[in-house]
Amino acid sequence: MKTNPESRIASTPQNDLRAYLLELYARIIASTFPPDQVIGHFLRHRRDVRGSAKGFLAATVFALLRSRVRLLLMDHWCGSAIQQGDMDPHGVPAGGPLPIQEAMKAVFLWLREGLGESAAEAEANTLLALELAMARVPDGRETPLVWPASPREVVRAFEKRISSDPDLALAPESIRRSARVSVPPAWLDRWSGQFGSEAALELAESFGEPSPLDLRVWRKGAGRAKAIEAFREAGIEGKPTNLAPEGVRLAKKGNLKNTPLPATIRYEIQDEGSQMVALALEDCLAAGKVLDACAGSGGKSMHLADLACEGLTVYSHDLEERRIEPLKERLITEPDLPIQTLPCGGASTMAPYDAVLIDAPCSGMGRLRRDPILPWRLRIPEDMERIVAAQRDCLDTYAPLVRPGGVVVYATCSFEAEETRELVASWLAEHRDFATDPLPERFQRASMALARGADGSQVTLLPHREKTDGFFIARLRRLR
């Protein structure tokens, strides 16, 4: 990466980190890609960012993104009488600042509130970070940023606003409540309608917390207890997850690739909620054929393969051929896994199946801790209508591929009613040859009582309650 040779700005590790943080925040909100992908690309092209600095940047920028709603509301409501008509469909101010200007405000607020700097110190350090960022020449492969003409005015105007009304006293209660939990008012209203006001606030607060790092230890290996012991010997603390029997939750995140572990310890990085999806079929894996209809990179296919008894084959298929490529590469190095990939559109070639897993494409709202920008990328109701139509199409296409008496599991990384219980109920009303079917015994335990539906055929996992990503799992059986 090049730097402006005429720049005389003081470049120190601390100053550089603030500059990278400002630039990275701006690039994330200007991008259409998920934050983790933007962060990965950014760090690959910033070779002077090494070691713990990478973790610091990733963790801090995620913390700032989780506070984005509060930042925007403070910026526009404080000291002004903004009207409801000035808000976008999410309930946040329309026509917000340009990405680099918003990033400056985010860094300034972080320095003031997070690090306790005075207004003068925070202003000086924010402007220094901007100067350092501007001095760097983009490598041509990234979206150019628009630099502000009067950066000092941007920071001082923001500081004046938040100093005049730090508690949003002039804003309606709904806005103050939304700012407290940093979730767009429109989404908070949706969740209040689904779960009640108090639970909606608890859910929103959980999305302001960092996501955990969960592992799934392979059953066909040393097992969870020995894995936890091996990690501890390597200096990494972990504990068993509450719901998933092979899950391990690590106390802190880090690079596991260079962690020395015995060869018998095999694991996958997988959220505990995601691990529960394949377990919804654990009593159907004695022998025969299982279809993972929307397999993606194959995480759940590999979980099914680990749960499978001898004689069972997992057929992995996806709507987009490119998404299944990582699984194909994995099978080259691990040819003994009982998994066969199918070409796009080829799921019917091996039908009928004894069980079908449909991990349907969805809004992804259950992953909001991992993708804080997600609410701005969803248009309600247009996008939700499109998503639900695709989910219904998945059920129409893949559920009939199961044999009579076979089981279908429908899952989403979302808890939104349209994508979950309402969709399943309406689909069953139109398909009388299918009915709800009780989930396996582990789903009927007291630990899942709050997540479980009335007839035991569905669960809804929520971050504030089950401490997982948000997930919905429903089990159906074909009658004839």
Q: Are both 296 and 160 inside the same structural domain?
A: no
Residues 161 and 293 in one domain: no
Could you say which of 113, 147, 176 is where a domain stops? 176
Domain assignment present for 117: yes
For residue 280, tell me if it sits in a domain: yes
Q: Which residues of 142-168 are buried (b: 16+ CB within 10 A; e: fewer)?
A: eeebeebeebeebbeebbebbeeeeeb
Alpha carbon distances (Å) from 324 to 316, 318, 360: 8, 6, 15
Does residue 120 share a domain with residue 33?
yes
The total of structural domains in the chain comes to 3
**Is the residue at 230 inside a domain?**
yes
In a domain, 188, yes or no: no
Bridge partners of residue 267, in order along the sequence: 217
Per-position pLDDT tens, the chain of length 480: 334 434 445 567 888 899 999 999 999 988 888 899 999 999 988 888 888 888 899 999 999 999 998 888 888 776 443 333 445 555 555 545 688 999 999 999 999 999 999 999 999 999 999 999 888 755 444 556 788 888 999 999 888 888 876 667 777 888 888 888 998 888 999 999 999 999 999 999 999 999 999 999 999 888 999 999 999 999 999 999 999 999 999 998 877 888 889 989 999 999 999 999 999 999 999 989 999 999 999 999 999 999 999 999 999 999 898 999 999 999 999 999 999 999 999 999 999 999 999 999 999 999 999 999 888 788 878 899 999 999 999 999 999 999 999 999 999 999 999 999 999 999 999 999 999 999 999 999 999 999 999 899 999 999 999 999 999 999 999 999
In the listed set 269, 294, 317, which residue is the last one of a domain according to the structure?
Answer: 269
Tell me if 345 is assigned to some domain. Answer: yes
Q: Residue 26: which H helix or E strand, with range?
A: helix 13-30
Same domain for 143 and 259, yes or no, is no
Examine residue 341 and state whether it is found in any structural domain, yes or no.
yes
Residues 449, 304 share a domain: yes
Determine if residue 473 is left, alpha or beta; phi over 0 gives left, psi from -120 to 50 gives alpha, anything else beta.
beta
Domain for residue 40, yes or no? yes
**277 and 217 within one domain:** no
286 shares its domain with 422: yes
Q: Are 138 and 91 in contact (CB under 8 A)?
A: no
Is there a single domain that holds both residue 286 and residue 316? yes
**pTM for this one?**
0.90
Q: Is 202 part of any domain?
A: no
- Enclosing domain of residue 112: 13-176
Q: Which amino acid appears at position 399 of this protein?
A: A
**Same domain membership, residue 115 and residue 31:** yes
Please tell me whether the peptide bond between 352 and the residue prior to it is cis, using omega within 30 degrees of 0. Answer: yes
Residues 381 and 418 in one domain: yes
**Residues 327 and 297 both lie in one domain:** yes
**Statement to judge: residues 320 and 446 lie in one domain:** yes
